[in-house]
Amino acid sequence: MTRELHRLRYGEQDIQYEIVRRPRKTLEIAVEPDASVVIAAPQDATLEAIEAKLRKRAAWVTRQQRYFSQFLPRTTERRFVAGETHLYLGRQYRLKVMPDVKEGVRLVRGFIVVQTHRPTKSEVTRRLVQEWYRDRAHIKFPERVELCLGLFPEPEVFRPRGLIVRQLKQRWGSMSPAGRLLLNLRLIQAPVDAIDYVVTHELCHVAEPHHGIAFFELLDKVMPDWKARKIRLERLMS
């Protein structure tokens, strides 16, 4: 399997797309939830033939990109000052910054309490909170992966070969061709059922790389209420 990156001019915009060549007879165009365009093509398909097909579907592609773009995660600017609200596992907590000789972050009855010897430095508070989010993600995400694997009739078939947590701008997660699961650090702020939706969605990609009929049939089978979870994620985290 080979991958190629290309660009097609359509009207006033460029459509960036990736060609994934496989032993297949037909050509399939897919717009992924992060608004990227992936074309599964036969190994002997010419670039001219691929571009001709994409040009015919360009109007549909751009409509799909506009639709998905409205749901992409948008980072709300935070100042990391006392009294500001922050999310953790779907619940809102107020930020409390306390002077202390030791640095640390903990949850205390509705507050994210930041202890620091530089309480007036918002950049220090930001760093401590983000490090705390990352620590919590590395604890919570593996727990959710194990739970979500239990939704599948053969869990080990869908087990990822690795888990990566990273701050992402344009997607909640992805599954690499090598089977490594990538999750957006911001998901630690989302409700548990929404985290489970993203994890389960990506686990389905182990068997179904693209969002075709078979993919959604599998997702419907293992998580029948995924649409409601997806809507909750988008509404809370937009």
- CB atoms under 10 Å from CB of 160, counted, come to 20
| pLDDT value at residue 73 | 60
Q: Where in the chain is the domain with CATH 3.30.2010.10?
A: 85-237
Joined tokens for residue 25: 């007879």
Joined tokens for residue 128: 């401590």
Give the whole-angstrom CA distance, residue 174 versus residue 117: 38
**pLDDT for residue 45 is more than 70:** yes
Q: pLDDT: is 195 or 119 the higher one?
A: 195
- Record the pTM: 0.70
> Helices marked H in the chain — which ranges?
47-56, 58-69, 122-149, 192-204, 213-222, 226-237
The pLDDT of 135-164, averaged and rounded, is 96
Architecture per CATH, domain 85-237, reads as 2-Layer Sandwich (3.30)
**pLDDT for residue 33 is more than 80:** no
DSSP state letters, 58-99:
HHHHHHHHHHHHTTS---------TT-EEEETTEEEEEEEEE
The string of pLDDT tens digits covering residues 55-105 is: 999 999 998 888 777 666 655 567 788 889 999 999 999 999 999 999 999
What SS3 class is residue 32? coil
The string of pLDDT tens digits covering residues 170-225 is: 789 999 988 999 999 999 999 999 999 999 999 999 999 888 889 999 999 999 99
For 209, half-sphere exposure in the C-beta direction (CA atoms, 13 angstrom radius) is 14
